[in-house]
Amino acid sequence: MAVLVTGGAGYIGSHTIAALQERGEEVIIVDNLQQGHKEALLGGKLYVGDLRDGEFLDVVFKENDIDAVIHFAANSLVGESMKLPGKYYHNNVYGTLCLLEKMNEHGTRKIVFSSTAATYGEPENVPIDEFDRTLPTNAYGETKLAMEKMMKWFDSAHGISYISLRYFNAAGAHESGRIGEDHSPETHLIPIVLEAALGKRPHISVFGDDYSTADGTCIRDYVHVSDLADAHILAVDKLRGGSSSSIYNLGNGRGYSVKEVIDIARSVTGRDIKAVIEPRREGDPAVLVASSERARNELGWKPSRSGLEDIIKSAWKWHEANPNGYQK
């Protein structure tokens, strides 16, 4: 039995593949390599192609005995999604529809889904739990919520059970230092701060210091990418054990402000990182912190790399060794 990982050459996908390999799973990867890097794959059998290509997916399912899918393949830039919502609906929503139809046709009935805190939008409660209101404030989050809802109906009609994992802020890199975060363009705080530490950027722009938080900057719940990878494997196991569909938040339950992130990065790197206060970025909620009690209780998830200093240390190890990302 094999696990199919879509979008496996991306940041969280590649770390999940590393974890699947470590436990001896047979791994099949589908990635169109528009954003992913084949250098990020530490194993598995790669098929380069797009989920929206039915004939291509038929070959993948026919050539392999796939019992479960972990679905990462998607566009994931919040800002871009506001400018090009059609791109996000086409790749994310229609791509997921094509995948679910092929799973149904080929008899694969388990899917673990890469979802996001962006499905909640501006939170009503902090920490956020899975029963809180979902009202996305950007097209990216809206497409991820639509994908979750699509899975619900494929479950009720066709018995495809799903576990949706709503991550908060993924960060860090694999402990081997062989894989890490390499987005183009990069928009996430920690890699940008580390690029400033490397001298690749003159400074880090702090998007707003007038939020109603202790130091005025936004607070986020950073979670190590390898802890996220572990959660996907627990979710596959749970579905293989016959569990019904579910949704889980994944975060550490502790928030750090943008200024705290920069201070910790200064101490981890020993470098002078210049910060410049700039206007707020549109659509940023002030505070996003997860309640992951459900994942801990029902999945048995125990994040083991939860301190922000350790998360930034692992990211720094990757960025220092690979200042220009993966070598092509």
Q: Mind telling me the catalytic residues?
A: 140
Residues 57-86 that bind ligand UFG (CB under 6 A): 76, 78
State the minimum distance, in angstroms, from the CB of residue 106 to ligand UFG: 30
Count of Cβ atoms closer than 10 Å to residue 309 Cβ = 11
10 Å CB burial of residue 194 (0-12, 13-18, 19+) is buried
Contact stretch for ligand UFG (CB under 6 A) within 63-71, 114-122, 153-161, 296-304: 114-122
Cα(48)–Cα(26) distance, integer angstroms: 17
Assigned token pair, 137: 């404030």
State the minimum distance, in angstroms, from the CB of residue 193 to ligand UFG: 8
Which lies closer to ligand UFG via its Cβ, residue 206 or residue 236? Answer: 206
Cα(303)–Cα(268) distance, integer angstroms: 21
Residues 13-32 that bind ligand UFG (CB under 6 A): none
Residues that contact ligand UFG, how many (by CB under 6 A): 22
Indicate whether 228 belongs to the interface with ligand UFG (CB under 6 A): no
When CB distances to ligand UFG are compared, the closest residue is 218
Residues 260-299 that bind ligand UFG (CB under 6 A): 281, 284, 288
State the minimum distance, in angstroms, from the CB of residue 63 to ligand UFG: 32
CB 222, CB 192: distance < 8 Å: no
Cα(186)–Cα(66) distance, integer angstroms: 33
Strands (E), 225-299: 246-250, 256-257, 275-278, 287-288
Dihedral of alpha carbons 298, 69, 6, 89, sign? negative
Which lies closer to ligand UFG via its Cβ, residue 82 or residue 150? Answer: 82
Task: Pick the binder of ligand UFG from 84, 97, 126, 192 (CB under 6 A).
Answer: 192
CB 209, CB 280: distance < 8 Å: no
Chain contacts with ligand UFG (rule: CB under 6 A):
76, 78, 116-118, 140-141, 169, 187-189, 192, 204-207, 218, 220, 258, 281, 284, 288
